[in-house]
């Protein structure tokens, strides 16, 4: 069953419409989580249709169900093409990606994703991963910390934050979310402590989980994995992700550069179904505040 306590599916109906589901088609949800989107997709399939879901978080597997045409892959979706081949699947009719962190991961204090509380600095989506938030904060050199906070948090006073972290970790290791939040608050503009810390935690989380690298590998793979007229539906929650998704759907490159063939024709694997991102309704945002920052983009694989 769908576990809405784990994660409430954002823009569910919009995602289903974007996938343009055929009952006998093959579909992939690369961010299974609580299974909300997946269950709704599965309910539209007949016995000839297939649903393959990905999630590297062991907690997510508890939300899976048994069916001959349902497949749970306990892996990072960066490797979507390899795992589909292992299942004997070369191409699919639709792929859904709901990027970011699930409500469960935010709310589970021990995971260290949230600025609330005082948990161990972890932030790993894959609990078997070697890199933790604690390692980033306490062992990264000054230049690497600067890169993480400037690139992934888009923090303006990055130098001040990095200097403060270096100073504080020399006094004692920074090993809890509470202490990191205190450090962040001391560097934040007045009355903007929560927003600033959200950017600090986001930057570290992206680094720990290599989220931009994973997204890049995933997007490149979709060109081969999706069948002609197959749909790519991606929901992002911050500008770094959305920019990469937009560039790839609009121009076929991650940087937004236009590539042309010998005859001057633009090489473009996808056509946008919507030119501008779909946003959650005010009614949905009232019920689920995490839908506020979501941007949904939809594209179709060119034949």
Closest by Cα among 198, 244, 195 to 222: 244
Q: What share of the chain is helix, strand, coil (3-state, %, to 5)?
A: 45, 15, 40
Print pLDDT tens along the chain (303 aa): 444 555 689 999 999 999 999 999 999 999 999 999 999 999 999 999 999 999 988 888 999 999 999 999 999 999 999 999 999 999 999 999 999 765 545 455 555 567 677 889 999 988 888 999 999 999 999 999 999 999 999 998 999 999 999 999 999 999 999 999 999 999 999 999 999 999 999 999 999 999 999 999 999 999 999 999 999 999 999 999 999 999 999 988 888 888 888 888 888 899 999 999 999 999 999 999 889 999 999 999 998
Q: Cβ neighbours of residue 12 under 8 Å, at least 6 residues apart?
A: 36, 37, 40
Neighbour-count burial of 300, counting CB atoms closer than 10 A to its CB (0-12 exposed, 13-18 middle, 19+ buried): buried
pLDDT value for 5: 52
The answer to whether 98 and 236 are in contact (CB under 8 A) is no
pLDDT value for 236: 96
Torsion sign, CA atoms 141, 146, 151, 154: positive
CATH topology of domain 12-103+211-301: Rossmann fold (3.40.50)
Domain spans of the chain, in order of start: 12-103+211-301, 113-209
For 113-209, the fitting CATH number among 1.10.150.170, 1.10.540.10, 2.20.25.160, 3.40.50.300 is: 1.10.150.170
96 CB neighbour count, 10 Å cutoff: 23
pLDDT value for 125: 86
């Amino acid at each position: 069953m769908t576990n809405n306590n784990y994660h409430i599916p954002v823009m569910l109906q919009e995602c289903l419409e974007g996938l343009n589901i055929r009952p006998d088609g093959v579909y992939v949800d690369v961010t299974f989580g609580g299974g909300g989107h997946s269950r709704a997709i599965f309910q539209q399939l007949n016995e000839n249709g297939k649903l393959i879901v990905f999630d590297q978080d062991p907690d997510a597997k508890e939300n899976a169900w048994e069916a001959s045409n349902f497949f749970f892959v306990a892996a990072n979706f960066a490797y979507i093409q390899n795992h589909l081949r292992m299942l004997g699947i070369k191409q699919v009719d639709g792929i859904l990606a709901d990027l970011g962190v699930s409500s469960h991961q935010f709310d589970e204090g021990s995971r260290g994703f949230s600025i609330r509380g005082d948990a161990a600095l972890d932030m790993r989506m894959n609990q078997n991963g070697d890199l933790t938030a604690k390692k980033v904060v306490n062992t990264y050199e000054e230049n690497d910390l600067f890169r993480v906070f400037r690139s992934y948090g888009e923090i303006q006073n990055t130098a001040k934050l990095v200097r403060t972290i270096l100073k504080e970790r020399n006094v004692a290791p920074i090993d809890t979310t509470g202490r990191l939040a205190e450090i962040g608050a001391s560097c934040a503009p007045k009355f903007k402590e929560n927003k600033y810390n959200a950017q600090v935690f986001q930057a570290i989380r992206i680094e720990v989980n290599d989220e931009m690298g994973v997204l890049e590998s995933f997007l490149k793979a979709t060109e081969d994995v999706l069948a002609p007229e197959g749909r790519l539906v991606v929901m992002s929650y911050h500008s770094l992700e959305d920019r990469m998704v937009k560039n790839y759907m609009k121009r076929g490159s991650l940087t937004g550069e236009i590539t042309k063939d010998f005859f001057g024709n633009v090489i473009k694997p996808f056509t946008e179904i919507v030119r501008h991102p779909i946003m959650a309704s005010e009614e949905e945002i009232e019920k689920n505040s995490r839908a506020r920052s979501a941007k949904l983009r939809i594209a179709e694989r060119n034949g």
